Amino acid sequence: MSTVILVIDVILAVILVALVLVQRSDGALGSIGGGASSMMTTRAKGNFLTKATAIVAALFMICSVCLAILNKPAQPDNKSILDTPAQTEKTPEAPKTPSAPISAE
């Protein structure tokens, strides 16, 4: 189930990027979405692209939230991480030295 939602999420992300890139820019970079000879008027095309971007963005967010809920790690109990005692690190023991000196024979 989560694989299907993930594929839909990726497709929506690509569509969302394309919709944002096609919209008319009011900045100095100009317009990517075509000139005045297109079938739709500039105002109608802007309204359609704005609504389509909002709808695709909402669907993308819903799919992302569903993926986050589906892939939540299973927790056996509902304890907080603050309720568990801190784990202390054990210090390594010093190497043992022989009690009697080693004599060279």
Domain segments of the chain: what residues?
A: 1-22+43-73
Give the type of residue at 37. Answer: S
What does pTM read for this prediction?
A: 0.55
Q: State how far the Cα of 18 lies from the Cα of 34, in Å rounded to an integer.
A: 14
pLDDT 10s digits, 44-64: 767 888 899 999 999 999 999
Residue 80 has pLDDT above 60, yes or no: yes
* Mean pLDDT value of segment 93-97: 73
Q: Is the dihedral of CA 61, 65, 66, 68 positive or negative?
A: positive
16: which 2 tokens? 């969302």
Cα-Cα end-to-end distance for the chain: 76
Q: State how far the Cα of 2 lies from the Cα of 71, in Å rounded to an integer.
A: 8
